[in-house]
Amino acid sequence: MKTRAPRLAARAIIVHDRRLLLVNAYPGGRSDLWCAPGGGVEPGRSIPDNLARELAEECGLLIAVGPLALVNEFHDPKSGFHQVDLFFRAEITGGRIDPGWADPAGVVTDRRFFTADELRHVRLKPDSLPRVAFTPGLPVHYDPLEEIVP
């Protein structure tokens, strides 16, 4: 296995009306795994600017990026893939969740807000996300390296 540098990604923790925004990025419903919206950081732009771009692409939303709340690492030991996700609290400043919205890259296939109770029955990563999302004011939480799940 060839060693490669970790990929850096930014994700948004958006709690609106006591519901957390999550996305499914598995075309054709191949997986029931949900995660916070966001994606890879492109060089030459700040991490918050990258996050705002990702939310506009994936969800059609304009956001104000707030403080860092969670750092999560995951990897695939077979391929050597390793990603570091930086989760920032964010607020919606424009747009709305539209069922007809299409991610231009075709990555995100569904986006939805979930209550804390609904999240108990949803498969999502990282496991710490609901606690961090619904408990503002916590210090930044770090999730150590975990294996990627399909």
Q: What is the pLDDT of residues 10-67, one digit of tens each?
A: 999 999 999 999 998 776 667 889 999 999 999 999 999 999 999 999 999 999 999 9
Q: What is the pLDDT of residues 93-108, one digit of tens each?
A: 999 988 888 888 878 8
Q: What is the pLDDT of residues 97-140, one digit of tens each?
A: 888 888 888 788 889 999 999 999 999 999 999 999 999 899 99
- Kindly list the domain boundaries of the chain, sorted by start residue: 7-93+103-144
**Token couple for 79:** 């391929």
**Token couple for 80:** 């050597």
> What pLDDT does 30 receive?
75
> What pLDDT does 129 receive?
96
Superfamily of structural domain 7-93+103-144: Nucleoside Triphosphate Pyrophosphohydrolase (3.90.79.10)
Q: How many C-beta atoms lie closer than 10 Å to residue 68's C-beta?
A: 16
> What pLDDT does 77 receive?
87
